[in-house]
Amino acid sequence: MKQYDIIVVGSSAAGVPAATTARKYYPEKSILLVRDVEFVPIPCGIPYIYGTVNDPMKNLIPVTKIAGGNKLDLEVAKVTSINREAKTIGTDKGETFGYDRLVLATGSKPIVPPIKGVDKGHVYAIKKNAIYLKEIQEQLDQSKSVVVIGGGFIGAEMAEECKKHNPELEVTVVEMQDHLLKLVYDEEFCLLAEEALISQGIKLALNEQVIEIAGKDNVDSVKLASGKSLPADMVILGIGAVPNTELAVSAGLELGETKGIKVDKYQRTCDPNILACGDCADKFSFFNHKPSYSKLASIATMEARIAGINLFHTRRMNQGVVGCFSTSLGGHAFAAAGITEAGAKDHCCDVVVGTAAGINRHPGLMPGGDDLKVKLIFEKASQRIIGGELYGAYSAGELINAISAFISKGMTAEEIATFQAGTHPALTASPIAYQLVNAAEMAEMQLYNLHS
């Protein structure tokens, strides 16, 4: 049996930064990184395998290179058991490794709903396995009609990439709610996303529920509760994911309210020698500390950097999930952070909203110019920002990160309206028409009138 100071189980968005963070702060410790597949996909890049990258093997986390650069030992094996008393793990290869500290970063599993016929051939969930993802690509090459179940990020991105892979392919997205991406965006942004997909020839079935995946051995159609039947020789499940906690449960670790591994604000489990981070770990909201079901690579890496530094000394604390999202549909960026205007009602929160739109260069004829719309949401009582939504120029992908930082630091409308932004004609909107500042100013005017 080989003994290590630190063992990290999992090598995706949480496992890798947990191990590299541990290496930075504990350079003298021996570290083992265990992964259960040889090739680890970049999670957020999975949809783009099919229409942009065109090869699952071009969408991989370079685990071996990262391990070599950080002096991490690597093991490709499935961890099948944890002996907490002996402080060892066992693998499917019959090997045993000892640890002083253990980090569980076992990720999540795609939701497979109990729909009749979901076990038929050519029905695929989005698994983080490059070989499995290659099977989806091969079937896509042979298909004429694809139904994507789920209208969140995964579903919308998969639909667009399938259409890009083969413009003749008939692609339909089925969503139970009245809009795509409704959990993340307010209605005006949802409508823009829907328009982006429809303009590419993608069909939308909104307010619809799948009741059966029909066919003999393989799928040939999808039946909806409304009575409609959609032709399909391939189905993609893009419904979401649940924590992968089988290993933790078998070891007797407690689960939290979201059925993830129960952790404290330092990512510590009920066992003082075991920490957990990423999709497998329980989460809470930054805003009200209630359970959060968000599963994003950005959240996973944040938790991993907390777990990695807290292994032997408590230095960092998790403030909770803000939720920062971005995607690209139809050549336009969609980004959001925090709470939507509609979602604020669930928090019993009165809000003030400021919006601004304009081109992201000055003058507008500068190369790379594109329209950008900014919506900022402020709590009326405290005047602090609680959410933001962006649409248009790809610069939104970075600007939303600034909005997430504003939210986490509790900045007010006035503070955002008067913060010093760096601008340049070739890179940003004019400082006179900087959308972020002007949206905050619009909200500040309303707040001023309310209190004057």
Give the tens place of pLDDT for each residue, 398-423.
Answer: 999 999 999 999 999 999 999 999 99
Distances (CA, A) of 48 to 131, 240, 394: 15, 17, 17
Q: What integer is the mean pLDDT of 130-144? A: 95
Q: What integer is the mean pLDDT of 112-136? A: 96
Confidence of residue 447 (pLDDT cuts 50, 70, 90): confident
Confidence of residue 348 (pLDDT cuts 50, 70, 90): confident
Going by C-beta distance under 8 Å and a sequence separation of 6 or more, which residues neighbour residue 212?
Answer: 115, 116, 117, 222, 223
The domain locations on the chain are 2-108+242-309, 112-239, 324-451
CATH of domain 2-108+242-309: 3.50.50.60
Domain 2-108+242-309 shares a fold with domain 324-451: no
Report pLDDT for 89. 98
Instruction: Answer whether 263's CB lies under 8 Å from 248's CB.
Output: no
User: Is residue 82 over pLDDT 70?
Assistant: yes
Confidence of residue 324 (pLDDT cuts 50, 70, 90): very high
Report pLDDT for 452. 61
Q: What is the share, in percent, of the chain residues with pLDDT greater than 90?
A: 97
User: Is residue 346 over pLDDT 80?
Assistant: no
Report pLDDT for 195. 98
Could you give the angle at the alpha carbon of 89 between the alpha carbons of 83 and 90, nearest 5°? 105
pTM score of the predicted model: 0.95
Higher pLDDT, 123 or 346: 123
| DSSP secondary structure code for residue 284 in this structure | B
Instruction: Answer whether 438's CB lies under 8 Å from 416's CB.
Output: no
Report pLDDT for 33. 98
Is the backbone of residue 428 left (phi > 0), alpha (psi -120 to 50) or beta? beta
Confidence of residue 31 (pLDDT cuts 50, 70, 90): very high
363 prior amide bond cis, ω within 30: yes
Q: If we measure between CA atoms, which residue out of 97, 95, 80, 69 comes closest to residue 6?
A: 97
Residue with tokens 């500290």: 101
Question: 3-class DSSP state for residue 288?
Answer: coil
Q: What are phi and psi of 70, to 5 degrees?
A: -115, 10
Report pLDDT for 133. 96
| DSSP secondary structure code for residue 239 in this structure | S
Task: Measure the CA–CA gap between 243 and 47, rounded to whole angstroms.
Answer: 20
User: Is residue 23 over pLDDT 80?
Assistant: yes
Q: If we measure between CA atoms, which residue out of 194, 206, 178, 195 comes closest to residue 342?
A: 178
Domain covering 324-451, topology: Enolase-like; domain 1 (3.30.390)
Question: 3-class DSSP state for residue 372?
Answer: strand
Helix/strand/coil percentages in the chain, nearest 5:
30, 30, 45
Task: Measure the CA–CA gap between 128 and 114, rounded to whole angstroms.
Answer: 21
Report pLDDT for 252. 98
The tokens describing 378, both together, are 């402020």
Question: Tell me: the pLDDT tens digits for 191-241?
Answer: 999 999 999 999 999 999 999 999 999 999 999 999 999 999 999 999 999
* Residue 103 β-bridge partners: 8, 275
User: Is residue 186 over pLDDT 90?
Assistant: yes
The tokens describing 44, both together, are 């957020």
Q: If we measure between CA atoms, which residue out of 85, 90, 70 comes closest to residue 21?
A: 70
Type of residue at 35: R
Q: If we measure between CA atoms, which residue out of 186, 185, 182 comes closest to residue 206?
A: 182
Report pLDDT for 276. 98
Task: Measure the CA–CA gap between 144 and 243, rounded to whole angstroms.
Answer: 33
Calculate the average pLDDT of the chain.
96
The tokens describing 278, both together, are 């990423």
Domain covering 112-239, topology: FAD/NAD(P)-binding domain (3.50.50)
User: Is residue 66 over pLDDT 80?
Assistant: yes
Task: Measure the CA–CA gap between 421 and 266, rounded to whole angstroms.
Answer: 33
Q: What integer is the mean pLDDT of 160-169? A: 96
